[in-house]
Amino acid sequence: MRKLCLLGAVTTAILAQPSDPAELLAKARDLIVASAKRLPDYVCVQTVDRQYFKHLYRQWRPPSCAQIAAFNQEHPRDLVLDSTDRLRIELKVSQGMEIGAWPGESRLGSRSVFDLASGGAYGTGALGTFFGDIFERGGAIYTYIGEETAAGLKLESYGYQVPAGSSHYEVKTGSDWTATAFSGTFRIDADSLDLRRLMVVASELPPESGGCQAETTVEYQKVKVGTGEFLLPLRSSMHILMTDATESRTAAVYSGCREYHGEATIRFDRAAVVGEVQETAASTAPLPAGLPLSLALTSPIDTETAAAGDIVTLKLRKPVRTPEEVLVPAGATVEGRILRMQHRLEKPRHFTIGLLLEKLEVRGGATQLYAKLDRGDQSRSIVLPPMGQSRLVAALVFTTDKSRHVVPARYQTNWVTVAPPAEEMRK
């Protein structure tokens, strides 16, 4: 199911029409559907870079989406880059839905992928869930556009339309999801009949979504998964235009695609929340509340490459102790995860890195770690975590006019342990 949450030069030449474009499309359609049905369970790592643009004239409110689109296209300099962020997610397609986890977690399917996206602009469908509406279910209407050449390949281009009644393209409207019509184009390799490029445009977004139009472009390639080769995305981009004239643009790259042998259980219950730590071979109970932790990074965090989802390691600078005994010696390893990697370009310009401590390795075993940043490490300003994110996520803010910041190894932070939240909810 396709869902959308709103928040090199190629030379093309139109050539002659093939003898029967309908027959070519039918053959390509059959191959695409058959390949999708044979595709084994698999996962890919998706790295997403997002840009958020605001309008230079903040009070400007045009009366229609068409006028917003026309004005922004004619006056691109009136759009100002406000912020950027980056996230890395491990995705798996299961039962027509893209489910996911942070890289390195023990299992997939513990939460909605939109929870991992932390409320920013995000869309699913590139991993193949578009195909059902466009090629398999029979609700799409096609038109032939023409033959093109690109990168030495002969490509046949088609247009399509999927009405709302046949669509599984859903847009978030408050707490609900609403299906909407969509249309677009796709290119088929005339020789191999492989799908090379797909464009999806939803231009009739529900008013409750606050969106005008969403446009997604996906480039596909053959990738070896298990014992066969299958059509998987190489990269994708998404452009969303909002009714307040703001825009968001995302660029996603897919890597490390491989067959998935584990069992994924789709759970969207109360226990499946952002910041949930999967069960490990923990051998000790969590630390008592109220104990100070002095930590230092073991390696730098480079905002040029780091993303939400990345694991970071830290070392205890001092032993953790009660008046009676040492519970954890100095030098013990703490594992944390970045849950936010944001760059705000409005002055004062700054990077915000959201860090959640997850695991403490001690005496050859591991235990879940519950701790919050010591208030003495924070400025007087308060940075709230995104809605739905754990309240134990520490927002580390670095003010700089530079476009890149490196948090050095041995960077120190102080924390204090807290009691495990009820029902394992980190809030």
Output the tens digit of pLDDT for each of the chain's 427 residues. 566 666 533 334 334 445 689 999 999 999 988 888 888 888 889 999 999 999 877 666 667 888 888 888 888 888 899 999 999 999 887 655 678 888 887 665 556 777 788 778 888 877 767 888 999 888 899 999 999 888 888 999 999 999 998 988 888 877 788 888 999 999 999 999 999 999 999 988 888 888 899 999 999 998 888 888 888 899 999 999 998 888 999 999 999 888 877 643 333 333 333 333 344 344 468 899 999 999 999 999 999 999 999 999 999 999 999 988 999 999 999 999 999 999 999 889 999 999 999 999 977 788 999 999 997 655 555 666 666 677 899 999 999 999 999 999 999 999 999 999 864 444 4
CA–chain centroid gap for 369, Å, is 26
Report d(CA 101, CA 1) in Å as an integer.
18
Report d(CA 139, CA 151) in Å as an integer.
32
Report d(CA 303, CA 301) in Å as an integer.
6
Q: What are phi and psi of 22, to 5 degrees?
A: -65, -40
Report d(CA 28, CA 34) in Å as an integer.
10
Return the pLDDT at 5: 63
The answer to whether 358 and 368 have CB atoms below 8 angstroms apart is yes
Report d(CA 328, CA 352) in Å as an integer.
30
* CB-based contacts of 152, cutoff 8 Å, min separation 6: none
Return the pLDDT at 13: 39
Return the pLDDT at 255: 92
The amino acid occupying position 368 is Q
Report d(CA 51, CA 342) in Å as an integer.
10
Return the pLDDT at 10: 37
Residue corresponding to tokens 């464009």: 199
Which domains does the chain show, CATH number per domain? 3-259 (no CATH), 292-424 (2.40.128)
> Up-side HSE of residue 35: CA atoms within 13 Å toward CB?
24
The answer to whether 291 and 415 have CB atoms below 8 angstroms apart is no
Rounded to two decimals, what is the model's pTM? 0.83
Angle CA 271–295–308, to nearest 5: 45
**Bridge partners, residue 202, by sequence:** 214
Report d(CA 98, CA 421) in Å as an integer.
29
Return the pLDDT at 182: 94
The two tokens of residue 422 are 């009820």
CA distance from start to end of the chain? 30
Report d(CA 349, CA 342) in Å as an integer.
11
Q: How many C-beta atoms lie closer than 10 Å to residue 162's C-beta? A: 25
The answer to whether 151 and 160 have CB atoms below 8 angstroms apart is no
Report d(CA 389, CA 115) in Å as an integer.
8
Return the pLDDT at 120: 80
Report d(CA 107, CA 113) in Å as an integer.
14
The answer to whether 50 and 121 have CB atoms below 8 angstroms apart is yes
Reduce the secondary structure of the chain to three states and give it as a string: CCEEECCCCCCCCCCCCCCCHHHHHHHHHHHHHHHHHHCCCEEEEEEEEEEEEEECCCCCCCCCHHHHHHHHHHCHHHEEEEEEEEEEEEEEEECCEEEEECCCCCCCCCECHHHHCCCCCEECCCCCCHHHHHHHCCCCEEEEEEEEEECCEEEEEEEEEECHHHCCCEEEECCEEEECCEEEEEEEECCCCCEEEEEEEECCCCHHHCEEEEEEEEEEEEEEECCEEEEEEEEEEEEEEECCCCEEEEEEEEEEEEECCCCCCCCCCCCCCCCCCCCCCECCCCCCCCCEEEEEECCCEECCCCCECCEEEEEECCCEECCCCEEECCCCEEEEEEEEEEEECCCCCEEEEEEEEEEEEECCEEEECCEEECHHHCCCCCCCCCCCCCCCCEEEEEECCCCCCEECCCCEEEEEECCCCHHHCCC
The answer to whether 92 and 108 have CB atoms below 8 angstroms apart is yes
